[in-house]
Amino acid sequence: MGSVKKEMAVFDSEAASEMMKELRVAFGSGKTRSYEWRLSQLKSLLKMAEDREQDIVQALRSDLSKPELESSIYEVSMLKGACTLAIKKLKTLDDAGKAEIVPEPLGVVLVISPWNYPLLLSLDPIIGAIAAGNAVVLKPSEIAPATSSLLAKLVGEYMDNSLIRVVEGAVAETTALLEQKWDKICYTGNGRTGRIVMAAAAKHLTPVLLELGGKCPAVVDLSINLQVATRRIIAGKWACNNGQTCVAVDYILTTKDYAPKLVDSLKHELESFYGKNPLESKDLSRIVNSNHFARLTKLLDEDKVSGKIIHGGERDKANLKIAPTILLDVPRDSLIMNEEIFGPLLPIFTVDKIEDSFDVINSGTKPLAAYLFTNNKRLKEQFVTTISAGGMIVNDTVIHLAVDTLPFGGVQESGMGSYHGKFSFDAFTHKKAVLYRGFAGDAPVRYPPYTKGKLTLMKALMSGSIFGVICALIGWSKN
Ligand code: NAD
């Protein structure tokens, strides 16, 4: 249960530097640039996901007691979808830049992933990196050890290891990797480590893609289809890895008058989904380890918060389970309202008027996702124009990240840069500006010796004034 310490060979700075040398040579051979190599690697990745779905489901069950449906849909199927799209679009992505913008791979890139969707968040960025023609090192999270070692094994078996590697390990190994000069670092995880990654990258002027988290609000207006809204909120909270999801609903904002109706609906639907004893439900992931269990119970046990639980609150320390828990009117200065919850606790914060919710959201850091449930057109517009967030959905939760025409990423403290679909290719590509010229049309006007006439003509050309050009050519000046 929880994180397991494993015996493995030490991966230190020397090993990291040796590995970098090998990868640079392999990348320098130009192999990753060929269409055939990129296609074959993407096909191998797809095959890996197809052949080994049951191993993956098993590893995720071991790491998180993740229900098979969630593993199959939110990890394996999403990975297969992203891979299939990259394969289908690979030619068009290449052709996009033939004329003036030539896409080129960045080089050797590092992908550091977290434990909550340990398969998808490791391999999804890699699809973009391969499609763009980069060499890749993946460092999966040590907090999901079964998935980490499965990834190391499968990537070893299915991919071209002269260019695509997995380094397993925790802080020491990641630190050794971060000392190297990478051409891009893609990090998914919390903002505290994000700052460490960015500081290490800054030493080499390495660009970063930071996929971070934060508190994602859901604003619930009245006059909506309450049952559908409630089910979608539950789907975006407890049915996503029991709240351990970066875009899970972190807290709800609604009016004082509407809160009792919403609470009744949430209780009713929760019971219909997870039964009277949710701690025994097979459809809820467990908390990943005892540290996170302790962190979450600390949020619940704070003096000013513990009396605000109106549903759930049960916990099973031995099995690392916490029941879906709803809290009403927690104080704004409580811990639970000031840090990302990342678990099955859902505070409802009430306001006098629904529009006041926007001030509450804007008083915090910019969320990775923000949700609004309403039928009011004006409120929708106000929400989209006044709230800054990585992404937003009106009348649903979470599913925007499955729309491959939308970039997925945060803003300010919720992240930097984005990926998914074509944006994954862009994230790992340099857009090189190329201009082709012939030798004709070599105008003397740009060369010395400079004259007043040349200056007037150049100014007219730059300002696009035909009249000015004619005047300059005939030597007529207004002065
Ligand atoms: P984590 O603890 O697994 O850490 C992420 C990675 O950072 C791991 O590979 C880990 O080995 C490495 N790491 C940890 N400490 C380090 C250090 N001191 N130096 C170098 N590397 C270090 O995962 P986490 O941070 O607990 O993940 C949860 C967070 O990630 C939440 O904030 C969540 O919102 C965010 N998240 C964001 C997204 C997204 O797509 N934006 C997706 C999932 C999770």
**Predicted local distance difference test score (pLDDT) of residue 460:** 82
- How far away, in angstroms, is 57 Cα from ligand 1 center? 21
Rounded to 5 degrees, what angle do the CA atoms 255, 304, 220 make? 20
Model confidence at 186, in pLDDT bands (50, 70, 90)? very high
Q: Tell me if 11 CB under 6 Å of ligand 1.
A: no
Predicted pLDDT of residue 467? 81
Q: For residue 222, give both structure tokens.
A: 């009245």
Q: Is the CB of 349 under 6 A from ligand 1?
A: no
Backbone angles phi, psi at 165, to 5 degrees: -130, 160
Nearest-atom index, ligand 1, CA of 169: 11
Q: What's the average model confidence in pLDDT over 5-20?
A: 82
Q: Is the CB of 340 under 6 A from ligand 1?
A: yes
3-state secondary structure of 393: strand
User: Which atom of ligand 1 is nearest the CA belonging to 141?
Assistant: 9
- Ligand 1 close to Cβ of residue 188 (< 6 A): yes
Query: Looking at residues 382-409, what average pLDDT do you find?
Result: 96
pLDDT digits (tens, 9 = 90+) for 87-129: 999 988 766 444 588 999 999 999 999 999 999 999 999 999 9
**pLDDT value of residue 97:** 44
What would the pLDDT profile of 56-70 be if each residue is shown by its tens digit? 999 999 999 999 999
Taking only the tens place, the pLDDT of each residue in 232-253 is: 999 999 999 999 999 999 999 9
- pLDDT at site 90: 92
Look at residues 370, 380, 383 and name the one whose alpha carbon lies nearest to residue 410.
370
Separation of CA 415 and ligand 1 centre (Å)? 12
Is the model's pLDDT at 1 over the cut of 70? Answer: no
pLDDT digits (tens, 9 = 90+) for 281-330: 999 999 999 999 999 999 999 999 999 999 999 999 999 999 999 999 99
Mean pLDDT of the chain: 93
Residue 129 in contact with ligand 1 by CB distance below 6 A? no
Protein residue with its CA nearest to atom 4 in ligand 1: 114
The residue among 1 and 324 whose pLDDT is bigger is 324
pLDDT tens-place string over residues 202-225: 999 999 999 999 999 999 999 899
pLDDT of residue 92: 83
Q: List the residue whose alpha carbon is closest to atom 2 of ligand 1.
A: 114
- For residue 99, what pLDDT is reported? 54
Across residues 394-422, what is the average pLDDT?
Answer: 97
Tokens 């505290």 belong to residue: 192
Statement: residue 2 has pLDDT above 50: no
pLDDT at 83 over 50: yes
Inform me whether the pLDDT recorded for 39 exceeds 70.
Answer: yes
Nearest alpha carbon to residue 13 among 202, 177, 197, 184: 177
Q: How far is CA 312 from CA 297, 300, 344, in A?
A: 13, 11, 10
Question: What's the 34 CA to ligand 1 centre distance in angstroms?
Answer: 33
Q: Could you tell me if the CB of 199 is within 6 A of ligand 1?
A: no
pLDDT at residue 478 greater than cutoff 70: no
Number of the ligand 1 atom closest to the C-alpha atom of 390: 41
pLDDT class of 7 with cuts at 50, 70, 90: low
Whole-number Å distance, alpha carbon 108 to ligand 1 midpoint, is: 21
Q: Which two tokens stand for residue 456?
A: 């007037």
End-to-end CA distance of the chain: 86
Q: Does the pLDDT at position 6 exceed 80? A: no
Pocket test for ligand 1, best of 3, 180, 188 (most atoms within 8 A of CB): 188
Closest CA relative to residue 233, chosen from 257, 256, 267: 267
411 Cα to the center of ligand 1, angstroms: 17
Instruction: Name which residue sits closest to atom 27 of ligand 1, judged by CA.
Output: 189
Confidence at 3, pLDDT banded by 50, 70, 90 = very low
| Residue 418 vs residue 470, higher pLDDT | 418
pLDDT, average across residues 13-20 = 94
The answer to whether the beta carbons of residues 475 and 453 sit under 8 Å apart is yes
Cis bond leading into 449, ω under 30°?
A: yes
The tokens 């009245």 sit on which residue? 222
pLDDT score of 8 = 60
Q: Does ligand 1 have an atom closer than 6 angstroms to the CB of 114?
A: yes
Its sign, for the CA torsion 254, 259, 263, 265, is negative
Label the pairing between strands 217-220 and 251-255: parallel
Confidence at residue 464, expressed as pLDDT on a 0 to 100 scale: 77
Task: Count the residues in the chain.
Answer: 479
Nearest CA to ligand 1 atom 17: 171
Say which range, 70-74, 183-187, 340-344, 427-431, has the weakest mean pLDDT. Answer: 70-74
- pLDDT surpassing 50 at residue 81: yes
Q: What pLDDT, on the 0 to 100 scale, is given for residue 477?
A: 65
Is 0.85 topped by the overall pTM?
yes
Residues with catalytic annotation?
Answer: 211, 246
Q: Over the stretch 247-278, which tens digit does the pLDDT of each residue have?
A: 999 999 999 999 999 999 999 999 999 999 99
Can you tell me which atom of ligand 1 is nearest the CA of 191?
A: 32
34 vs 159: CA distance, rounded Å:
16
* CB 246 near ligand 1, within 6 Å: yes
% of the chain with per-residue pLDDT over 90 = 84
Q: Which domains does the chain have, with CATH numbers?
A: 13-212+420-431 (3.40.605.10), 217-409 (3.40.309.10), 444-474 (no CATH)
198 lines ligand 1 (CB under 6 A): no
Going by alpha carbons, the residue nearest to atom 42 of ligand 1 is 246
